[in-house]
Each structure stands twice: as C-alpha cells, then as structure tokens.
Amino acid sequence: MNAYIPPLWVSLSFPEIDPVFFRLGPLQFRWYGLMYLLGLLAAYFLIKHRAASRNIPLGKTQLADLIVFAAFGVFLGGRLGYTLFYKTAYYLQNPLKILAVWEGGMSFHGGLLGTCLALWLFCYKKGFTAYTIADLAAQVAPIGLGLGRLGNFINGELYGRPTDVSWCMVFPRGGSACRHPSQLYEAALEGVVLFGMLWFLGRKATPPGTVFWSFIAGYGLFRSFAELFREPDAHLGFILGPMTMGQLLSLPMILLGLTMLVVGYRTHSSRERGGSH
C-alpha cells in the first residue's frame, strides 16, 4: 500500500496587515481609503489614454471634472446604498450614523447607481452622449473594484464561508473557522478578469454601450459566483432560500445587462442593413 502523504499545509496564515498604513498625530490613513484613491488615479490616466485613442474630445479640465463627479457618486451612492440595502432598520433608528463613514459600510450596488447618476449629470452639463462616457468609465471601473477587495482583505472583513480547502485562512473577526479568502476571489474576478475582458472589448468596434452593459452583466455574474464562497452578512443571512443579498442585487444586473447587449447589437445590425442599398 502507498504510504499516506500529508498535505504540505493545512491552511494559509492571514497576514494581519495593519489597516492603518500611516499615522500623523490623531489622523489615521487607512489602506482601504488609499485603495479608493489609487482606483480614481488609475481611472484618470486610463480614461485619458482611451479617450485620446478614440478621438473623444475630453480635455484635462473635463476629465478632472469627470473623476470628481464619479467620486461623489461612488461615495454618496455607496453609503446610501449600504444604509438602504443592508441596515435599513438600524439607520432609521440612528439617522446621524449615516454620516459616520469612518465606521465602515459601503455598498457596491449603491455606488453603481450613484455613479451612473453622477455621470449622467456630467454628460448633461458637458454635452457628451451618455454611452461615450459610460463606456470609458466602465472600462476602468474594475481596477477600483479589485483594489477595494484587497482593502477588504487587509481589513479582514467580508471573509468567506468555512471550508477545508488547503488555501483557507483563519480571519481574526471570523472566529476559529478556516475560511475561503473570498475577498481575493472577488479581487481576481471583479478586478483582474473583468478588466481584461472590458479592455479587450474596448479595443474593438462595438455598438455604443457595449462595454458598459458588458460591465453590468459581467460584474453581476462574477459577484453572484463569488457569493457562493462569501459568508453572508450576519444580520441578514440567506434570503429567499439559498440566496444572499449580494446575489439578489446582482441578478437584475445580469438580466438587464444581457438584455441591453442583445438590444444594442440588434439595433446596430438594423441600422447597418438600413444604410446599405
């Protein structure tokens, strides 16, 4: 009989990085906030590059305004979305706590809605068509998403479900159970993979809105898959059977994104046929 060979490791050690990377007196600068800043900086330079390559007249001042609009949309929408989707009863009882952003609590889906509204206002004020800006913004959005998930990992929050896989980790806030490092799964899927897909699409001649709706559908799919490994929020648990709140909010994204992609390509094909004689 073959002798039993034990695994090389039972689990990976959680790195326990200090969430505060710099202190200056009473001020604390956190990795999570830095990830947002790096995401916005990356968006600035990549949108500038893509706009120039596609001959979109987006000057430096307009680009700076675009990033400011998007930042306000992300933060305000993300915070309000969290209060609405995840802790409605708590914040109704403690409305002033809505302003306590330092206590944590941001929702991607709320941030998405806030950003869409902010970009629509930008297009309205600056005279751009909505899909022109939406496609540019969607192409770089996964960078911020991936960095944000790394921030979640450093904070040791939003960890995965208990598992016996060899790369599981024991998170300080997650008790003694060894868990999926689901933040890293999301960073890879919603960040690296989605960015690669959208960057590839952005280099092709596609109907207006293709990159944006691909982002919507792609994020919904990847988030729904990653939620299979992520621990549901303790105060919410599972919803409608085995679903989590993240999956429930992502399902409309998948359906709407795929529907709009089909509509966009059909409309584009009809116009091409109508224009050829």
50-70, pLDDT tens digit by residue? 999 989 999 999 999 999 999
Domain-embedded: residue 147: yes
Tokens standing for residue 266: 């059909």
Residue ranges for the chain with pLDDT beneath 70:
1-11, 100-104, 272-277
Q: What is the per-residue pLDDT for 6?
A: 41
Q: What is the per-residue pLDDT for 274?
A: 65
Domain-embedded: residue 7: no
Domain-embedded: residue 5: no
Range of the domain at 102: 20-270
Q: What is the per-residue pLDDT for 102?
A: 60
Angle at 266 between CA 260 and CA 267, to 5 degrees: 85
Domain-embedded: residue 46: yes
Q: Cβ(47)–Cβ(58) under 8 Å?
A: yes
Side-chain-facing half-sphere of 100: CA atoms under 13 Å: 8
Q: What is the per-residue pLDDT for 5?
A: 42
Domain-embedded: residue 175: yes
Q: What is the per-residue pLDDT for 2?
A: 47
Element of type H or E holding 260: helix 245-275
Q: What is the per-residue pLDDT for 83?
A: 87
The set of long-range contacts for 201-208, using a CB threshold of 8 Å and a minimum separation of 24, is: 201/139, 202/50, 202/135, 202/139, 207/264, 207/265, 207/267, 207/268, 208/129, 208/131, 208/132, 208/135, 208/264
43 CA to centre of own chain: 13
Domain-embedded: residue 15: no
Number of domains in the chain: 1
Kindly report, residue by residue over 193-239, the tens digit of the pLDDT. Answer: 999 999 999 988 899 999 999 999 999 999 999 999 999 987 788 88
Bridge partners, residue 230, by sequence: 160
Domain-embedded: residue 177: yes
Q: What is the per-residue pLDDT for 4?
A: 40
Q: Cβ(172)–Cβ(156) under 8 Å?
A: yes
Q: What is the per-residue pLDDT for 11?
A: 66
Domain-embedded: residue 13: no
Element of type H or E holding 85: helix 60-85
Q: What is the per-residue pLDDT for 49?
A: 93
Kindly report, residue by residue over 176-190, the tens digit of the pLDDT. Answer: 999 999 999 999 999
- Percentage of the chain modeled with pLDDT above 90: 62
